[in-house]
Structure 1
Amino acid sequence: MIRPLLTAVALFAAVASPSRAEEAKPAELKVGAFTFKVAAPWEARKEKKAMSAGGFTLPGKDGAAPIEADFYHFGAGQGGGVEPNLQRWQKQFLPDTQGNPAPMTREEITVGGQKALLVTITGTFLSGPAMSPKKTPMRDYAMVGAILQSPEGDVFLKVTGPEAATLAQKDSIKQIITAALTK
């Protein structure tokens, strides 16, 4: 009597619980010509920000703010050029006490003829909706941004969050971009 009951419970548990392969399957987001794959602990965001094609969130540890990744694609010839976008991103950080723009580093990534520009900006980030005058200053923040170039229209990626946590994710962000460029 007990053995058939235990067998039934074990079978139910095996069917009802997802396999490790299902749990480990990365989330995917197709944006323009690129597909981005992000694995746990990143989570797909259910709600899009204004103008965003979608995004992911990495929950903060011990009550810290999360890291947010947002993807944008406006179509061929849309969204402005590379330099105007970089200047706009840099202006989303307060200048230093001498009025100099927030520091920004650049790195080019090329995979099989596909190009991306990766930038890192640190400082006080002005958080808030695009085009809104109401911004919240977020001290000690970072942005790892990327512009993936394509004839179908560039794809813009902005990853923002607390500086130390965001910079700690930079290598994994580069891997996500490199994988997307690989197709």
Structure 2
Amino acid sequence: MTWTASKDWEALPARPMRAATYRIAPAKGDTEPAELAVFYFGQGQGGAVDANVKRWVGQFQKADGSALTDKDVRTKKETLNGLAVTTVDVKGTYTGGGPMMGPSSPKPGSRLLGAIVEGPEGPLFFKLTGSERTVAGAEKGFRKLVESVKKK
């Protein structure tokens, strides 16, 4: 599958388990960039869509440290370019997803925009994380990227 990333995003060098990684410059008032990681594991790999959404949501908590509930998370299923797409939008304190997957300490005021595109040779996972303000600034570009995904 192919996609088109925003020209404003910096493509970073190859990393293990990733099809691509993009650095998104911090929004005015923020100090850290956001990151868009694109994962591809192969046909039949990477786990079920709902399990991945649940895992991503589980990487966040409310400001008081409690778990997020369904009303704290926006998900949507749609078809784009003939491909099933599930998107997720979650805000809160980002706690990461293991030793190689997230921050060393919880990051309040964070946001995740995710998309899982179910391709003929396996799903693509797009995971944009960063501060709420920087991610909000990249939201239109993220949506355009998701809408651009298509079969080669």
Deviations 1:68-116 (A, max 9, x none): 0001111111110011101110111124538342621012231242121
In the TM superposition, structure 1's runs of 4+ consecutive aligned residues that sit over 4 Å from their partners are 128-134
Counterpart of 1:41 in structure 2: which amino acid?
A: D
Q: Which runs of 5+ in 2 are unaligned?
A: none
Q: 1:59: which partner in 2? A: 25
Equivalent-residue separation in structure 1 for 2:108 and 2:78 (angstroms): 29
The 8 Å contact of residues 59 and 65 in structure 1, kept in 2 or not, is answered as yes
Post-superposition offset of 1:57: 0.6
Cα distance in 1 for residues equivalent to 2:136 and 2:53 = 18
Once residues 154 and 108 of structure 1 are traced to their aligned partners in structure 2, the CA distance between those partners, rounded to angstroms, is 14
Deviations 1:138-170 (Å, cap 9, x if unpaired)? Answer: 110000000000230111010001002202322
1:107 corresponds, among 76, 96, 115, to 76
Match of 2:125 among 138, 142, 156: 156
Change (3 A) 1:128 1:105: closer
How far apart are residue 135 of structure 1 and its match?
3.7
Q: Which amino acid aligns with 2:129?
A: T
Aligned position for 1:123: 92
Higher helix share goes to which structure? Answer: 1
**Bigger Cα Rg:** 1
* C-alpha RMSD of matched pairs (Å): 2.5
Aligned residues: 149
Decide whether the 8 Å contact of 1:93 with 1:125 is kept in 2: yes
State how far apart, in whole Å, the 2-side matches of 1:126 and 1:142 are.
11
Map of 1:180 onto structure 2: 149
TM-score (norm 1): 0.71
For 1:37 and 1:133, how far apart are their aligned partners in 2?
25
Q: Which runs of 5+ in 1 are unaligned?
A: 1-33
Alpha-carbon distance between aligned partners in 1 of 2:107 and 2:88, rounded to the nearest angstrom: 19
1:38 positional shift: 1.7
**8 Å CA contact retained: 1:43, 1:56:** yes
**What letter corresponds to residue 87 of structure 1 in structure 2?**
K
Identity rate of aligned residues, in percent?
Answer: 27
Code of the residue aligned with 2:136 in structure 1: it is L
TM-score under structure 2 normalisation? 0.84
More displaced, 116-125 or 105-114? 105-114
